[in-house]
Amino acid sequence: MPLLRKLVLGVACGALCSAAAAQEPGDSNKPVLHGKHWVAITGKPLGATAGAITFAKGGNAVDAACAMLAATATMWDTLGWGGETQALIHDPRSGEVVAINALGAAPSGATPEFFRSRRMRQPPEYGPLAAVTPGTPGGLMVMLAEYGTMSLAEVLAPAIEMADGYPMEQSGAESIEDSRMLLSGWEASRRVFLPHYDEDAPFQWAAPLPGEVFRQPELLATLNKLVEAERDALEAGKTREDAIMAAYDRFYRGDIARDLVAGIQAEGGLFQMEDLDRWQVYIEEPVSTRYKDIDVYKLTHWVQGPVMLQMLNLLEDVDLKGMGHNSTRYIHALYQVMNLAFADRDFYYGDPYFPPAEPIAGLLSKDYARQRAAEIDWRRNDPGIRPGDPYPFQGESNPFSALLERWRPRILDRSRANVIEAPGGMTHDEAFLAGTTSIQAADADGWVVSVTPSGGWIPAFIAGTTGIGLSQRMQSFGIDEAHNPFNVVEPGKRPRATLSPGMALRDGEPYLSFAVQGGDSQDQNLLQFFLNVVEFEMDVQQAVEAANINSFQMHSSFGTQRSEPGRLVVRIDTPFRVTRALERMGYQVETWEKSSGPITAIHFDRQHGTMWGGASDFGDDYGIAW
């Protein structure tokens, strides 16, 4: 019997042994989706409709995913057109999973010295200095050109119609109104987001009203310019792929780029034309691990995706099903492996295209996982979990051993945890769970797409007359190598982001596709979704709705970038005996009404040749299948 399993099964009775499962899987609040031909799921009903329209016109899953991405960016579903896009795509022609890296990069002049000279501890949360290169337009166009079948005009058609005017949702209206103070300080943002703004009437509603037709003429003009560039290239005899890339060039090197850069510079931003020209989308090989007989794929360490693979490695020898779903022992096991993996993320993850090289082979080593698992205290929470040393597991010495020795968690002052530092800013909790959206698309031919786009969320700084709201991803950089020597801000470098779509194959065939919005909670939620399906045999809808836990012990990727050791969130229906036992183990337990996160997912039923879709009941996530 493996040592780790012996340790788990040998834990003394008492509080741990008395706690049965906190919640048993049961009926879901929303119905599971069933599809034979295709499934389209995303964060908003209108976005899912854009995917369904595209499928109905004969598009494949990549075409539909691009249409949903364009639609959700247009309706500011916690992202905008100037944000970032990252995706996993199963290509049935090769049977392989490929990764799309369309995360923006820091501009010219973005150095630690620049931010220190302005007395900043890290790059700001909002405004022109928070922006990285717009990645979503490039990511969408590269995905479409390489793996889609439709023209850019066809895929953008729903978004173009929405830019011409769509009924504003209540959640969107309230989000804009809540951010009016910050938005009103930027001319273009005020012009777009606050149609009822009156500086002489500070208490008058300034945002679009719920149900009001929200029009974005400047964004409409930009999207039409992309379609014009494609059309001109086609008329000149270019291929479909080259015509799409002509639109790419217009955005990053033509008149759209010039307008973007001028608008950013006018408000004190750092971008130059060469920053957009040099930026590129990377098509990459994802990282993976095998959990039992399932191959799980994630984007590599320019996002936090590998933490889920590390957690699966840590849990592989643990009898999770024997513990009981959301029992005290199960919750403790998840919390400890989360903190071990996230401590490694906090120190070792960064942009693979910049030195030093991250030790990803060691981090994903099964032997490294066994060493780390042996550090777990099965009786109490360990508030002092630190990054490990994966270098020996790839045959190397750690070049940062001195920094590692001095590394200490940066603890949040809870008295200021819910203080908003700046107008329109987020509290620590809001930043930790900061939303994005997620997209799932699959078709009968075997194309599967999982996307977690983000950035440019409200309150977004809009550049010039482009209608493009820029990303706020600069805040995920550090300026001190002592915290993470791989993620120090540098011109042209990508910040380590939280965005983390997932995909799993069984026997070489699609098994699961899954993603969730949120910040540092993403891979926590996705780990639990995966285990709900694989270990506890829930259907995909039950699995996306089931109660989750959340740890706040890792460092936040936003705002204060602080840690809260022992802070644990469980769902409100967790039995008192479980929460009381956890408190005796050193946890500060909070109960929330919902804890699963807005997960979207597809399960592939090979027995019947069908697809099961799940869209959680956490937010507005919505799916359509046929």
pLDDT(152) > 80: yes
pLDDT(441) > 90: yes
Q: What are the residues whose beta carbons fall under 8 Å from the beta carbon of 599, sequence distance 6 or more? A: 438, 514, 515, 516, 525, 526, 529, 543, 544, 614, 616, 618, 621
- Total-model pTM: 0.93
Confidence band of 348 (pLDDT split at 50, 70, 90): very high
Return d(Cα 23, Cα 591) in angstroms, integer: 14
Q: Which residue has the tokens 């777009």?
A: 192
Q: What are the residues whose beta carbons fall under 8 Å from the beta carbon of 231, sequence distance 6 or more? A: 153, 243
DSSP track, 451-471? E--B---SSPPBPTTS-PBBP
Percent of all residues in the chain with a pLDDT value above 90, rounded to a whole number: 86
Return d(Cα 315, Cα 310) in angstroms, integer: 9
Q: In what order do the strands lie in the sheet with 567-571?
A: 550-551, 567-571, 588-592
Q: What is the pLDDT of residues 261-282, one digit of tens each?
A: 999 999 999 999 999 999 999 9
**What token pair was written down for 44?**
């908003």
Q: Using an 8 Å Cβ cutoff, are 34 and 607 in contact?
A: no
Return d(Cα 218, Cα 547) in angstroms, integer: 42
Query: What are residue 368's phi and psi, to 5 degrees?
Result: -60, -40
DSSP track, 555-567? PPSSTT--B-TTE
Q: What is the pLDDT of residues 225-243, one digit of tens each?
A: 999 999 999 999 999 999 9
CA distances (Å), origin 213, targets 74, 166, 170: 13, 5, 12
Q: Which residues pair with 626 in a beta bridge?
A: none
Q: Using an 8 Å Cβ cutoff, are 496 and 351 in contact?
A: yes
Return d(Cα 296, Cα 361) in angstroms, integer: 15
What's the whole-number mean pLDDT along residues 57-79? 95
Please give the pLDDT value at position 413.
76
pLDDT(4) > 80: no
Topology at the third CATH level for domain 33-165+215-316+422-626: Glutamine Phosphoribosylpyrophosphate, subunit 1, domain 1 (3.60.20)
Q: Using an 8 Å Cβ cutoff, are 460 and 189 in contact?
A: yes
CA distances (Å), origin 623, targets 78, 395, 618: 18, 46, 14
DSSP track, 205-220? --SPPTTSEE--HHHH
Please give the pLDDT value at position 426.
53
Q: Using an 8 Å Cβ cutoff, are 564 and 349 in contact?
A: no
